[in-house]
Amino acid sequence: MKRKGIYNTELSHIVAKMGHGDMILIGDVGCPFPRHELTTCIDLAVTENIPVVNDVLRVVLEELEIEEYIVSEETKEISPNTYAQFKKTIDSFDNKGNALVEKVIPHANMKDLWLNGSLRGDEVKAFVRTGERTPYSYIILVAGVNF
């Protein structure tokens, strides 16, 4: 049995396969899944707010080195507590690679990125749905390097 880290086999597999520049979205229960085979969809939602995005974010960051994260303007404006939780979680990890970049884009652009990005060559490798029921609770992590 695995001692720690990501127990979900699909999520563990995706994180292990991620390379520099690959993206993973962790989103709330209302986020629609991409309708193509280029992005792996993982549904972790059990019930209302189980798990929440920040819990999954924390576990993923224990295993994944990132260089950038993307949030929507609406996350910052409409769900500022969620944004603050994301920042606190991300800031609690020691980034080994380049300086960490925060990118803020409109919700419509964010949604287009996770739904259609892989079709255009953006490497949105995985979409992870949680049970989170807070509006605009989603974040995209961009994999970095640990050297």
Residue 94, domain CATH? 3.40.1650.10
CA–CA dist 11, 60 (Å, integer): 9
Q: Answer whether residue 4 is part of any domain.
A: no
**φ and ψ at residue 4, rounded to 5 degrees:** -160, 180
Q: Does some domain include residue 55?
A: yes
Query: What is the mean pLDDT of the segment spanning 3-31?
Result: 96
Q: Is residue 2 part of a domain?
A: no
Domain total of the chain:
1
Active site residue 20: yes
How do residues 22-64 score in pLDDT, each as one tens digit? 999 999 999 999 988 889 999 999 999 999 999 999 999 999 9
Burial 12-38 (b: 16+ CB within 10 A, else e): bebbeebeeebbbbbbbbebeebeeee
Would residue 16 count as lying in a domain?
A: yes
Residue 1 lies in a domain: no
Point out the catalytic residue in the list 13, 20, 36, 107: 20
Residue 33 belongs to some domain of the structure: yes
pLDDT per residue as tens digits for the range 85-131: 999 999 999 888 677 999 999 999 999 998 988 777 777 899 999 99
51 occurs within a structural domain: yes
What are the beta bridge partners of residue 126?
24, 40
Distance (Å, whole) CA 140 – CA 69: 6
Q: Calculate mean pLDDT across residues 8-32.
A: 97
User: What pLDDT, on a 0 to 100 scale, did the predictor assign at position 97?
Assistant: 66
| Domain coverage including residue 58 | 9-143
- Residue 3 located in a structural domain: no
pTM across the whole model? 0.95
